[in-house]
Amino acid sequence: MTSPVGSLTQHLLTLCSSNVELSSFFTSPARARLMRAVFSAYYAEKADDMVIFDTNRAWAGRIAEVLHIFPDARFIACVRDPSMILDSVERVLERDPMRLSSLTAPGENIAQRARRMISPGGFIGDPLANLKKAVFGPHSERVMILEYDALCFDPGTAIDAVYRFVNLPAYDHDFENVRYTAERFDEHLNTPGLHTVHGPVRWQEREPMLPSEIVEDLSAQQFWNAPMRSRCARVLLGAKEQGNTKHDTDHEVPTDETRKIAHA
């Protein structure tokens, strides 16, 4: 779920930079102190030696800004085939067809929803553009792409790669009993259960409920599987034998022939 820190700092920076009456009172060091103060205040109840994982899809577009106040920061982007993201949205909407979720618009059909979500400013298109900036930008060595399929198929291997990336000792997670809810947040979105997670971490194969042309168009957006000139780390499912350029920071989650066929 998205934390509010990203929005708070973005509004604060905008106010201090573009407001005619206020901007002249702030120097760049002062803006940096205010930004750090937001983080410190929001996470004040956490121990000083704790590592904070703040979740916001906009951070990928603000890497230089974050590194200015937190030079040791790392950025982990969990990515998934956009067609399967939309497929998940459709399944959530199907669960309660008598409720108009904030994920859709009145009278909107599936093709219109796909175009809106992948468009600039859409909830897939916007973070996708931010991620491309991060992956191909000057700070790409601070970025890890963590593929959703790899995480589900072998969470232990995937998470171990994450701990190595952030230079922390591995924690013994219980992947058989993962639970999370955000009931109040989901109610505000008029989409109960949107962020509910329960049970073991498992790969669950399923047939998408989307038209084939939408699946093809959205799946083509998975730039992270192609050869790329980037220093970012990647955790990908080993079945994706697509001639990827290998990097020392790439990690492959091993799989079996069944999964290879399922993904083909």
Is residue 12 packed enough to be buried (19+ CB in 10 Å), middle (13-18) or exposed (0-12)?
middle
The CA–CA distances, whole Å, from 243 to 103, 128, 199, 217, 226 equal 36, 22, 35, 21, 7
What is the reported pLDDT for 239? 47
- CA dihedral 123→217→94→122, nearest 10 degrees, is 10
Q: How far is CA 104 from CA 82, 159, 202, 208, 242, in A?
A: 16, 33, 28, 19, 35
Tell me, what's the pLDDT at 252? 66
Contact indicator for 102, 191 with CB cutoff of 8 Å? yes
User: What dihedral do alpha carbons 80, 252, 140, 219 form, nearest 10°?
Assistant: -30
Contact yes or no for 205/264 (Cβ under 8 A): no
C-beta separation of 42 from 30 below 8 A: no
pLDDT tens digits, one per residue of 218-227: 999 999 998 8
The answer to whether 221 and 120 are in contact (CB under 8 A) is no
* Per-residue confidence (pLDDT) for residue 242, from 0 to 100: 39
**How many CA atoms within 13 Å lie on the side-chain side of 64?**
4
pLDDT of residue 253: 65
Q: How far, rounded to the nearest angstrom, does the alpha carbon of residue 39 sit from its chain's CA centroid? A: 20
Q: Which residue do the tokens 């079945």 mark? A: 239
Give pLDDT, residue 81: 96
Among 155, 146, 161, CA closest to 60: 146
pLDDT at 198: 87
Domain boundaries, the chain: 57-263
Using the CB atoms, write b or e for 62-82: b if 16+ within 10 Å.
bbebbeebeeebbbbbbbbbb
pLDDT at 8: 94
**Token pair for residue 18?**
């573009």
pLDDT attached to residue 219: 95
CA separation for the pair 30, 16 (Å, rounded): 9
Q: What pLDDT score was predicted for residue 23?
A: 82
Neighbouring C-beta atoms of residue 30, cutoff 10 Å: 11
Query: What pLDDT, on a 0 to 100 scale, did the predictor assign at position 21?
Result: 79
Q: Compute how many other C-beta atoms are within 10 angstroms of the C-beta atom of residue 203.
A: 16
Q: What's residue 249's pLDDT?
A: 58
Residues of the chain with pLDDT under 50: 239, 241-248, 256-264
